[in-house]
A = this chain, B = another copy of it.
Amino acid sequence: MTVRTHTLPNGFRIVTENMPGLKSAALGIWVTAGGRHERADQNGIAHFLEHMAFKGTSTRSPQQIAEAIEDVGGYINAYTSREMTAYYARVLEDDVELALDVISDILLNPVFDPKEIEVERHVILQEIGQAHDTPDDIIFDWLQEEAFPDQPLGRSILGPAEMVQSFSRDDLSAFVAERYGPGEMILSAAGAVDHDRIVAQAAEVFGGLKPVARGAFDPARWGGGERRVTKRLEQAHMALGFELPGYRAPDLYASQIYSSALGGGMSSRLFQELREKRGLCYTIFAQAGAYSDSGLMTIYAGTGKAEIAELLTLTVAEMKRAADGMTPQEIDRARAQMKAGLLMGLESPSSRAERIARLLSIWGRVPTLEETVARIDAVTAEDVRDIAQRLAEGGSAALALYGPVAKAPALDALTARLAA
């Protein structure tokens, strides 16, 4: 591994990792500006802004942006999460400079043409419609709202349709001015990349950006509660959420091992008990998500309307059983899955670029693979049981239900059973 980092005088950071033998590269800019950096009256603007990046710069039309990258066979895309917005491309090695040129252009020089804003407003309203038509998409928005109510972290990334209807050019510019400072940006590149050339190009393009005072944002406040939306669907969908530590917490890896052993793979307890033994569901999983100051374990499953009560009761029973401790084999298996996943991910430039950007953003440096592995290895059965017990006894969870869910027990009954 040859991870190299560099910081420009204005705070803009660059991290690269050359991967010998590769003929392609992944690169992008990760900006610490996402849904949770929005005020209530801005909900959806980070994502709207991400869309507008592709809608024309001072020198390129939307079509020219797309053609610049696709002419050389590459692709370019972006995503908005709750704590980050990322703009990234994948190209062959000769086109890294071009890709960086395009990404920096769309990030720094968007024109926000009012006509294009109107067009993109319609696109985003369709995106919202699509999410609402997909039960196992929209249910996670509802879970997030219950988990972190009345705060930016709980609001949807896309924003409500009414708010998307209202955003103006000035709203977009204001969000950029507040949140897109050079200190919030990380340029990350992995694969067939040359650190020095990327630093030189980045210095030229981003070196002139004026630092912006880092904006505050609301700390996460766990809420918990239930949202039940009855609808005529084939499946009764459920998403159950519990508070986990944030990504800088010492027990981060314990919480990930717990979630993995509970519902992370085919050998996990939930998969074995609910799907393999009882045939209650096709999709079922538990996964640990982490933010800077909090986290969320999500358990999702879809089942029949007659089985939703059994599914929820058994899920809670498995969590309760896990609080009595998991076997060393289960913990070692979850550990092996995390480590192998890490190693396999390192073979893809896209995963590497994403990984080093995130690590630099969290820690201000890129911990070595050995450091990460050592932290995973250090997790004990007691650490995992502590997490399991804390969740079981905490008395608070978030629950979203969608579909023919009339027979689902109330959340209070489930948490009482879990804590009993």
Contact = CB atoms under 8 A, between A and B. Distances in A.
A129 B265 contact: no
A340 B69 CA distance: 11
A102 to B, nearest CB: 12
The listed residue with most B CB atoms (<10 A of its CB), out of A266, A281, A338, is: A266
A282 B344 contact: no
Copies of this protein in the assembly total 2
Interface in A90-107: 90-92
Nearest to A266: B66
Nearest to A129: B234
Given A129-B235, A279-B121, A283-B130, A92 B343 contact: yes
B126 A266 contact: no
Interface in A39-57: 54-55
B267 A66 contact: yes
B76 A266 contact: yes
Interface range, A side: 35 or more
30 contacts: A22-B347, A24-B340, A63-B272, A66-B265, A66-B267, A67-B267, A67-B333, A70-B267, A70-B337, A72-B340, A73-B341, A75-B265, A75-B266, A75-B337, A91-B340, A119-B276, A119-B277, A120-B279, A122-B278, A123-B275, A123-B281, A123-B282, A124-B282, A125-B304, A126-B280, A129-B234, A130-B282, A130-B283, A133-B233, A134-B135
Interface of A: 20-24, 54-55, 62-63, 65-67, 69-76, 90-92, 118-130, 132-136, 233-235, 237, 265-267, 271-272, 275-283, 302-304, 329, 332-333, 336-341, 343-344, 347-349, 403
